[in-house]
Structure 1
Amino acid sequence: MAYLHQHYLEGGLSQEELQEWNELLNDTVNQPFLIELMNGTWDEITAGDEVYLKSTRSAEILAYVRVMPQKKVFRMEWRLQIAVAVAIIFIAAGLFFFMGKDKTPQQPLQALAVEITPGKQGATLTLANGKKIRLNDVSTGEIAEEAGISVTKSANGQLIYEIKGSAGDPGKTNTLTTAKGETYMLMLPDKSKVWLNAASSLTYATVLNKEGKRWVRLEGEAYFEIAKDPVLPFAVESGGQVIEVLGTHFNVNSYQDEAVVKTTLMEGSINVGIKGTDKITRLKPGQQSSLTNGAMRVETVDVDEAVAWQKGYFQFDGKTLETSLLEISRWYNVDIEYKDNSLRTRRLAGSISKYENVNKILKVMQLAGALNFRVDGRKVVVEKN
């Protein structure tokens, strides 16, 4: 265990060793030995010590606990960096330590009176005739058939559309809606796949063909994997823009409570147009367009950050506290209240699984001591430390 601990700090573990290390961390039987290792590392570190932590590993680990006010970066002394690195090991195991001799104690999060669980798979399907189907309440198999279109719920919970016989009525539309704390995956008749994030909706013609295009309308956020069709373009109407593709992978974030509509391209190419104008912007892989008040801006980004939600984790790097807590609000179905509005613009860095207990996520965000959270029922109150 000591060997794995030391080489983890140095970033020298092989894939097999890293897997073994993670298994040790997740076994509560090992916690006393891990604490002993942490204490030993702290006691051995001096200003002239040759124990070192690779800068890349240091930056990666510190990202989990660093909270930065806008336009201001705090630099930790080397001894504290290693201490925080060790602390992160225990965070991974579900333990929390506040390191350093002159630290200011933080207010602990109280035990929750209401259990706040992570989001889960779930959605409501509204058929063309107005009938609503709670997908969590129906068994697998065919759940609806409309005008030659079969709608099936698969064993793993996906919603699958298939055209049977003659084409249906292009005027008939369905809407798939997720509430706060829900996400769902949909396969359209052309085999295109759509992952719908929490508090979102997707409206589409049941035959997917409207005026010579595979047309859908999005409110909220979704990740698209579009099946190639050289004849019928795929069009997404969302947040004052229209996206047109032939076949590609991309993410669209167009929540009404956020000021910017973001479209991020993973592969292929897409055209992003502003509704009511002839302005069209073509994106290349790795680019993201941002639409704000009718103005479009394009930049190169880390696409993994845009699809972190779809891969099961929160990615906070560079985001404001307000944007990050909006994500938490939608996923955990909680309200957010700020006691000091200046906290909204604080910048965050780090990532954490979406399936952690909400208290654990809030504790990680508190670690730098710049702010505190108080949970009141299903409301998270944000306060200065």
Structure 2
Amino acid sequence: MNHRKFPALPSALRTPPVWLVPGLVVAIVAGLLWFSFGVGPGGPQGSIGLGAQSTDESRQTGGEHADTSDLESAKSEDDEKGTKSGTEPPAAEPTSSTTSPALERSVRRFQAAQRRLAERVNQQLERRTQPFSFRVATFNVLGDSHTGPGGNKPGFPDGSPRMDMAISALRSSGIDVVGFQEFEASQYNMFTARAGEYSLYPGLAMGDKSVRFNIAWRSSMFRMVDAHTLSIPYAGGSRIEMPVVLLESISTGRRAWFANFHNPADTPNLGNNGRWRAEAAAIEVSHLTALHQEQGIPVIATGDYNEREEIFCRFTAGGVFSAAAGGSSAGGCAPPSGMQVDWIFGSTGVQFDSYAVSGVGKASDHNMVHSGATLLPAG
């Protein structure tokens, strides 16, 4: 799968503005009319009036409809003069009533096709602006190396049965999009072999480090439109590429960006990484805020941030993001109660409901955090 790396900001992937669609329809209609009838503004009969006066008629009347009583009076005078002189009244100029029946039928067929096209375009626009709901999760699945030989979690089963439990948790909670952390190559292979209903990015394409941060989505619900990675400082400041994907609803065409991160923890082996967590959060918030404001597309971020109050305040300070767990940034930072280190954040345009923290037994040393998410009607 192709991917692109964006260390700062991605190249704009813009949804075509709604105002372009009518112009496109008009261009298509004009082309079809010219091709079908060989007529146009410079054609032999001038433009074909579809419910409007011709240019010549407009010039003759000064752009306004003549009073019908005046027209009738003038016609009576002409008829009377013609009778007195013994001559016939002049022949009427050809009008739309004297056009060929075949041309009239073609025009009617064309108008019907035009109406059907406009109806289809309106239906597509309506689908692309209506609310769309799904369920999103963040899930640190505990790396296979932690429970294998020599691992530091001897009380847990090895990776294979734990992956079965993780997949069961996803299915039972109806998860449509999930950001994984500690998702090692062996677990990636297990997941793709046993949970074929999901697609993933970046897969194994970027090696054993970046595979740990895969985003998975239900293939029957979403398709991937674009993707890139963001270079994030991990333990000791070493950089790792983490994924950002643009997904589109197959049924509605609604789009959202999804990002997934794992910021470094403080451990005896890794040391104190507060500096790198702060730098990582600054990169993540800045990039996703710019992505949302530049394109107007909703953004959802999942991750194990290894922080509670600090990461909540960093994400919500700008007024763009809110947390699925609740809390408020109005008038200061007021984080929710019962915070996890695993978070789901959404930009404006995203509404969360039914937030849950589900235990997964021995599948992992983390709970699975998940929430309903709705892309609100697009303005």
Question: TM over 0.5: same fold?
Answer: no
Taking structure 1 as the reference length, the TM-score comes to 0.23
RCO higher in 1 or 2 (8 Å CA, sep ≥ 6)? Answer: 2
What is the TM-score when the length of structure 2 is the normalising length? Answer: 0.23
Structure (1 or 2) with the greater helix fraction = 2
